[in-house]
Amino acid sequence: MMKVKSIRALVDAARHFKANPDMAFEITGLWPPERWTLVTFRRWFLRCLHNKINRHDSHPWRKLDYGYQSDLCHDASIINDYARGMMHRGLNLLRTPELRRRYPHVNNNIIDGPEL
């Protein structure tokens, strides 16, 4: 099965086929060289999608458990409040490692304010 150079190339090919259904691509580097039309592209894409869905990996799906999703919801709330101008005080406000890396300025938000 052929691999795609990038997701961008896949999206560009789909857009080109959608805009020009009669267009064809010459695929070089294969033996024998292939000529792809909208029908062959769609057949290849659906076969890849079917294989991806029905692969039956033994690896459990990541990031779908309840704990991770609730932490993600909490982080989204903190980030949305920050975007609206509401500041939360404290260190390590975000719970998920991906959002900690992406929003370090939100995660460590120390605000000088009145002492309670």
Confidence of residue 4 (pLDDT cuts 50, 70, 90): low
CA-to-CA distance for 99 and 91, rounded, in angstroms?
A: 14
State yes or no: pLDDT of 5 exceeds 80: no
Question: What value does the mean pLDDT of the chain take?
Answer: 79
What are 11-48's pLDDT values in tens digits? 888 888 888 888 887 776 666 777 888 888 888 888 87
Confidence of residue 80 (pLDDT cuts 50, 70, 90): very high
Gap between the terminal Cα atoms of the chain: 65
